[in-house]
Structure 1
Amino acid sequence: MSKWSRPTSVSIPTIWATFEGRQIINGNKRQYWIQDITDEYRDRIVEYMIEEFTMDEPLCKYSSNLNHHLGLVCLTKDEDGKPIIAAMNCTTLCSKYDDESSGDGLQVQVLKTLMWVKKQVDPFSKFNITEYLDAMGLYVPPKFRGEGLGYELLKARKALCRACGLKVSITLFTSAISQKLADRVGFKDLYAIDYVDLEKVNPAFKYPGIQEHTKSLRFMYIVYE
Structure 2
Amino acid sequence: MYLSWNRPESSEYPKIWHTFTVSGEKYHIQDLPPSITEKALQFMKENSIDEPLAAAYKIYEDEVVFDQMEVQWRSVIEQKAVLVCFKEGSDEIVGINMNYVLSIYDHILMSPIAVIKKRLRNVYSMFERMYYGCIDRKYKLLCSLIKSNKNDKRCLGLLQLMTEDFDIDVDEVLVACGLCVAQKYRGRGIAVELLKTRKIFCEEFNIKLTINVFSSHIADACAEKAGFELLKTFSYDEIRKNYPHLKVPIQIESNSLTFRAMKINSMRELISDKPKSLALIKKLNK
TM normalised by structure 1 equals 0.82
| Contact 1:2/1:96 (<8 A) preserved | no
Q: 1:38 to 1:9 in 2, by over 3 A?
A: same
Higher strand share: 1
- Matched residue, 1:151: 192
| Contact 2:4/2:106 (<8 A) preserved | no
Map residues 59-74 of structure 1 onto 2, 5 A cutoff: 59-60=53-54, 63-64=72-73, 65-74=76-85
Larger Rg: 1 or 2? Answer: 2
Letter in 1 for 2:243: V
- Matched residue, 2:249: 207
TM normalised by structure 2 equals 0.66
Q: CA offsets, 1:142-198, max 9 Å, x none?
A: 111232211111111111111111111101111110100111122112222221222
Q: CA deviation at 1:18?
A: 0.9
Q: Is residue 94 of structure 1 aligned with residue 102 of structure 2?
A: yes
| Contact 2:196/2:227 (<8 A) preserved | no
Cα distance in structure 2, aligned partners of 1:33 and 1:188? 25
- Matched residue, 1:41: 36
- Matched residue, 1:25: none
Give the SS at the match of 1:83: coil
Q: CA deviation at 1:82?
A: 4.0
Give the SS at the match of 2:245: coil
Letter in 1 for 2:102: C
* Greater RCO (Cα-Cα under 8 Å, separation 6 or more): 2
| Contact 1:120/1:191 (<8 A) preserved | no
Q: CA offsets, 1:38-96, max 9 Å, x none?
A: 22222222222223212x2112395412222111000125xxx4422111111111233
Higher helix share: 2
User: For this pair of structures, how many residues does the alignment match?
Assistant: 208
Q: Is residue 109 of structure 1 aligned with residue 154 of structure 2?
A: yes
Q: CA deviation at 1:105?
A: 4.5
Letter in 1 for 2:52: P
Percent identical: 30
Flag structure 1 segments of 5+ consecutive residues without an equivalent: 23-28
| Contact 1:21/1:31 (<8 A) preserved | yes
Which of 44, 51, 65 matches 1:57?
51
Flag structure 2 segments of 5+ consecutive residues without an equivalent: 60-68, 108-118, 124-147, 266-286
Cα distance in structure 2, aligned partners of 1:97 and 1:192? 29
Q: CA deviation at 1:7?
A: 2.1
Letter in 2 for 1:18: T
Letter in 2 for 1:43: E
Q: Is residue 196 of structure 1 aligned with residue 237 of structure 2?
A: yes
Letter in 2 for 1:117: M
Cα distance in structure 2, aligned partners of 1:184 and 1:82? 27
